[in-house]
Every structure is written in structure tokens, then in C-alpha cells.
Amino acid sequence: MRVTRVTRRLVYALVGVALTVGCAQPTTGRPVADRETAAKATADAVRRGIDAFQDHFTNFGDEHARVYNYLNFGDTKITTEHESFKVGDPPAIVTKRRYSADGDWSETFTPPGSPVDYIKLDEDHRFLAPTPYVSVPSLYANGFQTCILLTAWAACNVDTSIGQTALDAPEEQPSEARATEDGFEVTTGALLGVMLDEGIVSVPEEQRGDLTEPMLNTVVPVTIRLDDAMEFTGFEVRGAVTGGDAPKLEIQLEYEVLGEAEESDLPDVPDEAEITAITDKAALEQFWEKFNDRTPEK
């Protein structure tokens, strides 16, 4: 759904009502309906914020974005950063990945309509080929879909998790809205167990049995950020989840729109002499297994 200017003004009016009425004190002879009015205004503002979030990815344009993922659970500490550029239609796509704040980036480039993706290997995975680049069958061989793009994939699955939580635990799901210096933000939430099923909470398979039922049934806050034009600028899933004897689980998943991607952001197609083509199915499976391993063995 495209958010109109009228809708934007309405959202700010609703946020204002929620903040003003929520702080009002009942006076003599005044109906004590302020709390109900504030709750409805807040719920309407949250709904419109979620609509703007969904609309951004339904009408996904040229975008430069970053996704930061952090997890701390017992002895497991995971940090991953992804950056993406999408330009044109059919799009040219660049995705970058690194496993630490000062780590080396890998980079995947898909020219418009290309049947292959070109992957520039980072330092930790350079042993996977005798050349700086490999080519693999493109993820977009059957056409571009927003939720295939790795950064947008995180947003799509957060949206699914919010929707499922509204069905499974509506009373536990936050509904908050507030004005900010840059626009406003709304807070809703998603069940940890649902986000785990959707793959956006990356607890290793061998540790999932350590998560207790109270932890899986915890709703983690999701804050959606919008600018003063009611345009989506990012979201954050962030919380510390405890339950029983299990270690505390700390998670942070943040999506940030960095601006509009341009052709100047795109690399050149590497020379053939710099590329190792991987086409065999077994070789591809082995490549992806090691390429996605944070500490691959040679």
C-alpha cells in the first residue's frame, strides 16, 4: 500500500494525540476516556508505521542498505554485517559480507540479467579458488525478487515474524509510537521462537536445545524507524532473553537504509583470467558450505 501525504499527516496527528492524551490528567466533569483514546491513536500509528515498512519492500527501489546481526549465547558470539546495492530494472546487485567490524569483505556482483554471480573472495575464504573471484549460477537466474536479496530477506522475515506473533501472542506484542528528531518510530514485537523458525535469529543448531520454552515464548521488541516524510529508514530487533537455567541470549538485528544506490557504486565485471567458474552440483555444495563457514578449514 502506498502511503499518501494525507496518511502521513494523519500518522503524525495520531502520534501527537497518543503522546498528548496519554499524558493528560482527568479533570472534574471530564470523561475519563483519555486512556482509550490514546490507546487507539497509538495502535493506529503503529499500524501505519508497519504499513510504511511493508510498502517500502513491496515497492522496492534502488537502495543502498546495511544489515548488522549480533548474537551472544553462552560461548557463542556472532557478529555479521551485510551491505547491499540494488540499481536499475532489471537490477544490478552487489552484496558484501564480513564477520567482524574490522574483517575483510567478500563481495558478490550480479550484472543485470546475468546468469552468473561473481564472488570476490575475502581473506578467510581465498583458499577456495586459485583466483580472486569465482562465478556461480546466479541467485536471480529466474528473475529478481526482493526477498531473495539478503538484506531485504531479513526484513521480509521480520515482517512475517511480526504477523505470526500478532496471531500467536497478541496480548504480549508491544504497540508503541513516539516522535523523534528525524521523524518517528513505532515498536511492535516478535516471538523468539518464530524468529528462530524464520532464520533471523542465528542460534547454532547444536545449541537450540538449550533454549527453554519461556525463552521461545518471549516477545522481543521490534522498532521500525521512519523519517519526517513517513518513509521507512530502518528497523531494529533487540533484546536480552532469559529463562530457567539457560544462558542469557542477547540479540540485535538492525536494518539501515543508507541512501539510493547508483551505477557508480557497481564494480566492473572481473577479467576471465581472475575467475574460477563453479558449475558442478557437488562442487557448488562444497563451495557454499565452506564459504558460509565463519572459520572454514582448508
Amino acid sitting at position 21: V
What is the reported pLDDT for 41? 86
Higher per-residue confidence, 31 vs 289: 289
Share of the chain above pLDDT 90, in %: 82
pLDDT digits (tens, 9 = 90+) for 84-131: 999 999 999 999 999 998 999 999 999 999 999 999 999 999 999 999
What is the reported pLDDT for 157? 98
pLDDT digits (tens, 9 = 90+) for 122-173: 999 999 999 999 999 999 999 999 999 999 999 999 999 999 999 999 999 9
What is the reported pLDDT for 298? 82
What is the reported pLDDT for 160? 98
What is the reported pLDDT for 230? 87
Of 283, 270, 181, the residue nearest 233 (C-alpha): 181
In the three-class reduction of DSSP (H, G, I as helix; E, B as strand; rest coil), residue 85 is classed as: strand
Q: Which residues are bridge partners to 212 per DSSP? A: none
H-type alpha helices, 136-295: 150-168, 192-198, 213-216, 281-291
What is the reported pLDDT for 23? 46
Q: Pull the grid cell for residue 275.
A: 575467475
What is the reported pLDDT for 24? 44
Model confidence at 6, pLDDT cuts 50, 70, 90, reads very low
What is the reported pLDDT for 244? 87
Predicted TM-score (pTM) of the model is 0.88
**pLDDT for residue 201 is more than 90:** yes
pLDDT digits (tens, 9 = 90+) for 19-38: 444 444 444 555 555 778 88
Q: What is the mean pLDDT of the chain?
A: 90
Share of the chain above pLDDT 70, in %: 89
Overall size of the chain counted in residues = 298
Q: Pull the grid cell for residue 38.
A: 490514546
Alpha-carbon distances of 257 from 48, 152, 232, 295, rounded to whole Å: 19, 11, 8, 29
Q: For the chain, which residues make up each domain, given as ranges? A: 5-58, 92-143+268-298, 148-259
**pLDDT for residue 256 is more than 60:** yes
